[in-house]
A and B are shown apart, each in its own frame.
Chain A
Amino acid sequence: MLNSISPSLQRPRLRCCDASSCRSAGSGALLKALETARSNAGEAAEPLDIEPVGCLRLCSQGPLVALDRPEGSSLFGGLSAPLAGALVDAGSGTDNNSSLNDHAIDLEQPFFALQHSVVLEGCGQVNPESIDSAIAHGSYEQLRHCLQELSAADVREQIRRSGLRGRGGAGYPTGLKWDTVALQPPGPRFVVCNADEGDPGAFMDRSVMEGDPHRLLEGLAIAAYAVGADRGFIYVRAEYPLAIERLRLALRQARQRNILGNNIFGSQFDLRIDIRVGAGAYVCGEETALMQSIQGRRGSPRPRPPFPAQKGLWGAPTLINNVETLAAVPAILREGGDWYGAIGTDSSRGTKVFALSGAVVNTGLVEVPMGTSLRTVVETMGGGVPNGAGVKAVQTGGPSGGCIPAALLDTPVDYESLRALGSMMGSGGMIVIAESMAMPELARHFMRFNVNESCGKCLPCRAGTVQLEQLLTKFVAGNAQASDLEQLEQLCQMVQTTSLCGLGQAAPNPVLSTLKYFRQEYKTGCEPATAGPQPWA
Chain B
Amino acid sequence: MGVITLRVNGVELAVPAGSSVLTATRQAGAQVPVLCHLDGLNPIAACRLCLVEIEGSQKLQPACSTEASEGMVVKTDSDQLQHLRRMAVELLFSEGNHVCAFCVASGACELQNVAVAVGMDHSRFPYQYPHRPVDASHHLFSIDHNRCILCSRCVRVCDEIEGAHVWDVANRGGESRIVAGLNQPWGEVESCTSCGKCVDVCPTGAIFHKEDTTAEKHPHAERAQRLRQAREQHQWHHP
Distance in angstroms between the alpha carbons of A470 and B95 in the assembled complex: 13
Contact of B48 with A500 in the complex, beta carbons under 8 Å: yes
* Closest B residue by C-beta to A487: B124
Contact of A500 with B174 in the complex, beta carbons under 8 Å: no
Q: A462-B95, A498-B51 are in contact. Are A491 and B171 (CB under 8 A)?
A: no
Residues of B within 8 A of A487 (CB): 124-125
Distance in angstroms between the alpha carbons of A453 and B176 in the assembled complex: 11
B154 contacts chain A at the CB level, 8 A cutoff: no
Q: A491-B87, A497-B84 are in contact. Are A454 and B172 (CB under 8 A)?
A: yes
Distance in angstroms between the alpha carbons of A465 and B175 in the assembled complex: 12
Q: A303-B62, A303-B65 are in contact. Are A463 and B95 (CB under 8 A)?
A: yes
Closest chain-A Cβ to B28's Cβ sits at a distance in Å of 22
A460 contacts chain B at the CB level, 8 A cutoff: yes
B126 contacts chain A at the CB level, 8 A cutoff: yes
Q: A462-B95, A463-B91, A466-B95 are in contact. Are A452 and B84 (CB under 8 A)?
A: no
Residues of A within 8 A of B168 (CB): 298
* Closest A residue by C-beta to B151: A459
B24 contacts chain A at the CB level, 8 A cutoff: no
Contact of B91 with A460 in the complex, beta carbons under 8 Å: yes
* Closest B residue by C-beta to A466: B174
Contact of A462 with B150 in the complex, beta carbons under 8 Å: yes
- With beta carbons under 8 angstroms apart, the residue of A303, A462, A498 that contacts B176 is A462
What is the interface residue range for chain B against chain A? 20 to 34
Residues of B within 8 A of A454 (CB): 172-174
Distance in angstroms between the alpha carbons of A459 and B174 in the assembled complex: 9
Q: Which of A281, A487, A497, A498 has the most CB of B within 10 A?
A: A498
B45 contacts chain A at the CB level, 8 A cutoff: yes
* Closest B residue by C-beta to A469: B174
Q: A302-B44, A456-B174, A467-B125 are in contact. Are A497 and B59 (CB under 8 A)?
A: yes
* Closest A residue by C-beta to B175: A456
Contact of A458 with B45 in the complex, beta carbons under 8 Å: yes
Contact of B173 with A456 in the complex, beta carbons under 8 Å: yes
Contact of A498 with B60 in the complex, beta carbons under 8 Å: yes
| Contacting residues of chain A (274-318) with chain B, CB-CB under 8 angstroms | 281, 283, 298, 300, 302-303
A451 contacts chain B at the CB level, 8 A cutoff: yes
- With beta carbons under 8 angstroms apart, the residue of B59, B65, B83, B174 that contacts A462 is B174
A257 contacts chain B at the CB level, 8 A cutoff: no
Residues of A within 8 A of B169 (CB): 298, 300, 456-457
Residues of A within 8 A of B83 (CB): 490, 494
Distance in angstroms between the alpha carbons of A536 and B169 in the assembled complex: 34
| Contacting residues of chain A (227-286) with chain B, CB-CB under 8 angstroms | 281, 283
A499 contacts chain B at the CB level, 8 A cutoff: yes
Residues of B within 8 A of A491 (CB): 87, 125
Contact of B87 with A490 in the complex, beta carbons under 8 Å: yes
What is the interface residue range for chain A against chain B? 20 to 34
Main secondary structure of the interface of A (DSSP, over half): helix
A84 contacts chain B at the CB level, 8 A cutoff: no
- With beta carbons under 8 angstroms apart, the residue of A281, A463, A499 that contacts B174 is A463
Contact of B176 with A467 in the complex, beta carbons under 8 Å: no
A216 contacts chain B at the CB level, 8 A cutoff: no
Distance in angstroms between the alpha carbons of A454 and B46 in the assembled complex: 13
Residues of B within 8 A of A464 (CB): 91
Residues of A within 8 A of B128 (CB): 466
Closest chain-B Cβ to A490's Cβ sits at a distance in Å of 7
Q: Which of B46, B62, B88 has the most CB of A within 10 A?
A: B46
Closest chain-A Cβ to B174's Cβ sits at a distance in Å of 5
B47 contacts chain A at the CB level, 8 A cutoff: yes
Q: A463-B94, A536-B124 are in contact. Are A456 and B47 (CB under 8 A)?
A: no
Contact of B88 with A459 in the complex, beta carbons under 8 Å: yes
B157 contacts chain A at the CB level, 8 A cutoff: no
Interface mask (A476-498 → B, CB under 8 Å = 1, otherwise 0): 00000000000100110010011
Contact of A459 with B48 in the complex, beta carbons under 8 Å: yes
* Closest B residue by C-beta to A493: B84
3 A-B pairs with least C-beta separation: A456-B176, A454-B173, A463-B91
A-B contact pairs, 26 of them (CB 8 A): A298-B168, A302-B45, A303-B45, A303-B66, A453-B172, A454-B172, A455-B176, A456-B172, A456-B173, A456-B174, A457-B44, A458-B47, A458-B48, A460-B48, A462-B95, A462-B150, A463-B92, A463-B94, A463-B95, A463-B174, A464-B91, A466-B173, A490-B83, A491-B125, A494-B87, A500-B46
Residues of B within 8 A of A (CB): 44-48, 51, 59-60, 62, 65-66, 83-84, 87-88, 91-92, 94-95, 124-126, 128, 149-150, 168-169, 171-176
